[in-house]
Amino acid sequence: MARVTLQDVTKRYGDTVAVDRVSAEIADGEFVTLLGPSGCGKTTTLRMIAGLVELTSGHIRFDDQLMDNVPTHKRNIGLAFQSHALFPHMSVAKNIAFGLTNRRAPRAEVQAKVEEMLDMIEMTGMGDRMPSQLSGGQQQRVALARMLATDPRVLLFDEPLSALDRNLRDTLKYSILELQRRTKKTAIYVTHDQSEAFAISDRIMVMNQGRVEQAGTQLDIYLRPETEFVANFVGDNNTLQGTVRAIEPGTDGIREVVVDCSGMTVRAIAPADLAAGDAVSVFVRPEHIEVLPDGSREGQDGVLRGKIVQLVFEGPTLRMTIDADGVPLHVSVSGTERLALLDQANASVWVELRNPSVVKNPPAV
Amino acid sequence: MSETTAIGGPSRFRSSGRWLTSGLQHAYIWLWMALFVLPFLTTVYRSLEDPKGGYSFEGYRFAFGSFQDALILSLQTTIVTIVLNILISIPAAYAIVRYPIPGKRTILAALNVSLYTPGAVMGLSLSLLFAYRLSSIQGSFWALVAAYVVGTFPLMLIPVIVALRDLPTVFGEAARTLGAGRWRTLLRVEIPLLGPGITAGILLTFVIVFNEFLVTLFIAGKGNQTAALTIYNILARAGFAPSTAALASIMQFTSFVVVLLFFKVFGSRYLKGTYLG
Ligand SMILES: Nc1ncnc2c1ncn2[C@@H]1O[C@H](COP(=O)(O)OP(=O)(O)OP(=O)(O)O)[C@@H](O)[C@H]1O
Ligand SMILES: [Mg+2]
C-alpha cells in the first residue's frame, strides 16, 4: 500500500542515542523485520514510524508524502502491540469496529466489516465476548483483526507474539505472514527472535546500538555477514583471525579474497572494502565445518588438522570442539555421519571449513 | 449405627461448644452494630413522635412541606460540585501524571491543603473573601458551590490520579493508531478506563458535600439554607422538634441509599476490577 522511507532517522533521549541515523527503504508490500538485541532501538524506530515518538532529526516518508508532522491518528497505520492492547471495556465487536467508527463509517458497513473480520480470524459469532473472556491467542487475533479493519497503509508489529507460549507463537507467526501476503500490505515487524525473523521476512534489518548493521535477505545475513556483530548475533559462528593475501577475480566475476589464517588458506567472497595486507576476521558456522574421512586433501584451501577435545551428543546434532593448533573450533554435525564420530573423542581428524565469510577488522582504538 | 451412638455424646458436646463461640461472635458484632446505629435509630424514633401525643408521620409531612427547598438545594449544590470537581480533576490529573512538571510533589501537597484545613478556618476565610472581594456572589448558590469545590476537589483529584497512574499508556496509543484524535481517545477509551477513580471521587464528594455543615454555616445566605444547616438553625433557635428529627432521618436515609446504589451500579463493574481483566 505504501513504500516507507527512513532518512537519517535519529532519536536521542538526553545523552542516550536510542536510534542513530537509520536510513532504509521498505518497498510497497514488503515484509521487513527489525532484528536486534534488547535496547538496540527497534521499538523506538517502529514508534517513530507510527508517530508515537517524535524524531530528533531525520525524515520519514510514506510513498512521497513526508510524515514528520502528521499525527498518529492521521497516518492510517496499524500497530500490533506486545500486549494485545484490546480495550478492556469494549466487546470484541466494538474493538474491531473502533477504527471504522472513528471514520464515521455507516453502521451497516461497520457491521459487515466486523463480521468479515471475525470470519477471517476464525472467531465467527464471538463478537459479544469481552476481551477478558478470550484466550491469549484469541486476544492477539482480535488485535490483528482490529488493526486490519481500517485497511491501513502500513502494518507495524512490536513483538506481538512474545507474550504467548511457543506453539501459539509458531502458528500465529504464519497467520500474520499469510494475512500480510493476502492483503499485500507493507509490514514492518520488530523481534529479537531470529527464528521468527527468518521464518517470515522478505528482508531483515539487523540493528545494534541504534544503528542498522546490515540489511538483506536471510541468506545475505546468514552466509555473508558484513560486520562482526551480525556474524555473532545471528546463529553461531567460529571466529579466526587472518591477513588478506590477495583479492582475485573469481569465477562468475565475483571477486574472491584469499586469506592466510591459522596456517591454511581460506577463500571467500570479497567484501568491497578489502585490500591486500588487511587484518580480517574469518567466520565459519559450526554446521559448515565438515569432518573429512582422511588426510588426502591436506594442504588444500580451508582444510586443516585438529584433535577432537569434546563430544556432546544432543540427539539430532552432535556438537564437537576441535582443537586446531590452539584454536578451538566448534563443529556441529547433523547427518548420519555423526553416529560414526561418537567414539572418536581425542582422535586426530581433518576438517574442511566451508562457506567462510570475511570481515575487515575495525581499526584498533 | 452403634458407632454413631458411641461418638454421639462428645460430638454433641463439641457442637454445643461451637454454638456458644459462634453465638458470642455474633453477639459481639451485633453489639457494635447497635452502638453505631443507635444515634440513627434514636433520631428515627424521635422523628415519629407526634407533638399532640402518640406516634405519627406528622414530622415527615412537615419536613417535606417546609424543608423541601433545603433538601433540593443540598442535592443541587452536591451535583454541581461533583460535575465541577470532575471537570477540574481530570485535566489536572493528566497534567500531573503524564507531563513533566517541575515540583510535582509540592504542587500536589499544596492542592491537598484544603483537606487538612479545619472547617471553621475554611468557613471564616471564605466568608471574609466573599465579603471583601466577591460580594457579587456572596451568599448565593454559586458561593456555596465555589466553597464546596475548593474544599473537596482533592477528593476527586486523588483517586483520578491513582487510576491514571495505573492506566497503561498503551490503550491511548492503540486508539490513536486506529485513527482516534485526542478527544475521541479521551472520551471513548481513557475516561471509561478511569471509571473506578472517577466514581470513587463522586462517592466521596457526595458524602462530604451533601452533609457539609460547618463551612456552610459561615457563608450561606438567608435564602440559601442547605438541609444540614437548616437542622442546626432550627435546633439552635427553637429547640428539638420531631420535624427536625424527620429531616435528619431523611438526610441520613438519602446518603445511605446513594451509597448503596453506588455500589450496586458501579461496584460490580468497576470496583471489582473487570477492567484490565
Ligand atoms: N522514553 C525513553 N526515555 C529514555 N530512554 C529511552 C526511552 N525509550 C527508550 N529509551 C532507550 O532507548 C534505547 C532503545 O530502546 P528501545 O525500546 O527502542 O529498544 P528495543 O530494541 O525495542 O529493546 P527490547 O528488545 O528490549 O524491546 C534503550 O537504551 C532505552 O533505554
Ligand atoms: Mg522493544
Ligand 2 centroid distance, CA of A42 (Å): 6
Closest of A247, A262, A288, A283 to residue A361, by C-alpha: A283
**Domain match, B1 and B137 both:** no
B179 closest CB neighbour out of A50, A73, A87: A73
Closest of A153, A154, A150 to residue A109, by C-alpha: A150
How would DSSP label each residue in chain B?
A: -HHHHHHHHHHHHHHHHHHHHHHHHHHHHHHHHHHHHHHHHHHHHHHTB-TTSSB-SHHHHHHHHHHHHHHHHHHHHHHHHHHHHHHHHHHHHHHHHHS--TTHHHHHHHHTHHHHS-HHHHHHHHHHHHHHT-TTTTTSHHHHHHHHHHHHHHHHHHHHHHHHHHS-THHHHHHHHTT--HHHIIIIIIHHHTHHHHHHHHHHHHHHHHT--HHHHHH--TT---HHHHHHHHHHHH---HHHHHHHHHHHHHHHHHHHHHIIIIIIIIITT-TT-
**Beta strands A186-191 and A154-158, pairing class:** parallel
Left, alpha or beta for B155 (phi > 0: left; psi -120 to 50: alpha)?
alpha
- How much is the pLDDT for B13? 57
B277 closest CB neighbour out of A132, A147, A150: A132
- How much is the pLDDT for B268? 54
Residues 191-250 of A with CB under 8 A from B: none
Ligand 1 centroid distance, CA of A38 (Å): 8
CB atoms within 10 A of CB B256: 11
Q: Please check whether residue B277 lies inside any domain of the structure.
A: no
Q: What does residue A9 show for φ and ψ, rounded to 5 degrees?
A: -70, 125
Reported as a single tens digit per residue, the pLDDT across A90-117 is 999 999 999 999 988 899 999 999 999 9
Reported as a single tens digit per residue, the pLDDT across B95-140 is 999 988 888 888 888 888 888 888 888 888 888 888 887 777 777 8
- How much is the pLDDT for B76? 92
Burial class (CB in 10 A: 0-12, 13-18, 19+), A55: buried
| DSSP bridge pairs for A303 | A352
Q: What does residue A71 show for φ and ψ, rounded to 5 degrees?
A: -70, 155
What does the alpha-carbon distance between residue B154 and residue A100 come to, in Å, rounded to a whole number?
A: 38
Q: Whose CA is nearest to atom 3 of ligand 1?
A: A13
Reported as a single tens digit per residue, the pLDDT across A212-241 is 999 999 999 999 999 999 999 998 999 999
**Domain match, B25 and B84 both:** no
Domains of chain B: total: 2
- How much is the pLDDT for A270? 85
Cβ pairs bridging A and B (under 8 Å): 71
**Domain match, B185 and B221 both:** yes
Q: Please check whether residue B202 lies inside any domain of the structure.
A: yes
**Domain match, B111 and B207 both:** yes
**Domain match, B132 and B7 both:** no
**Domain match, B93 and B191 both:** yes
pLDDT over 50 at B273, yes or no: no
- How much is the pLDDT for A205? 96
Residue type, A245: R
Reported as a single tens digit per residue, the pLDDT across B180-229 is 999 999 999 999 999 888 888 998 999 899 888 888 888 887 778 888 88
What does the alpha-carbon distance between residue A172 and residue A160 come to, in Å, rounded to a whole number?
A: 10
**Domain match, B41 and B81 both:** no
Query: Three cell numbers at A57?
Result: 532529526
CB atoms within 10 A of CB A2: 22
Three-state SS string over B155-224 comes to: HHHHHHHHHHHHCCCHHHHHHHHCCCCHHHHHHHHHHHHCHHHHHHHHHHHHHHHHCCCHHHHHHCCCCC
* Residue of higher predicted confidence among B67 and B26: B26
Closest of B198, B189, B118, B186 to residue B158, by C-alpha: B198
ipTM above 0.95, yes or no: no
Q: Please check whether residue B276 lies inside any domain of the structure.
A: no
Range among A61-75, A164-178, A295-309, B194-208 rated most confident? A61-75
- How much is the pLDDT for B271? 46
**Domain match, B168 and B259 both:** yes
Q: What does residue A332 show for φ and ψ, rounded to 5 degrees?
A: -125, 135
**Domain match, B120 and B255 both:** yes
- How much is the pLDDT for B224? 81
B178 closest CB neighbour out of A88, A99, A132: A99
Query: Three cell numbers at A294?
Result: 582422511
What does the alpha-carbon distance between residue B85 and residue B83 come to, in Å, rounded to a whole number?
A: 5
**Domain match, B97 and B193 both:** yes
Q: Whose CA is nearest to atom 25 of ligand 1?
A: A38
Which residues from A are below 8 Å from B276, CB to CB? Answer: 88
pLDDT over 80 at A87, yes or no: yes
What homologous superfamily is domain A4-228 in, according to CATH? P-loop containing nucleotide triphosphate hydrolases (3.40.50.300)
Q: What is the CATH number of the domain that holds B220?
A: 1.10.3720.10
Residue ranges, CATH 3.40.50.300, chain A: 4-228
**Domain match, B132 and B243 both:** yes
Reported as a single tens digit per residue, the pLDDT across A112-146 is 999 999 998 889 999 999 999 999 889 999 999 99
Up-side HSE of residue A310: CA atoms within 13 Å toward CB? 11
Are A58 and A255 within 8 A, CB to CB? no
Pocket test for ligand 1, best of A9, A12, A44, A159 (most atoms within 8 A of CB): A44
pLDDT over 80 at B82, yes or no: yes
Domain range enclosing B22: 1-47
**Domain match, B169 and B93 both:** yes
- How much is the pLDDT for B260? 85
Say whether A157 sits in a helix, a strand or coil.
Answer: strand
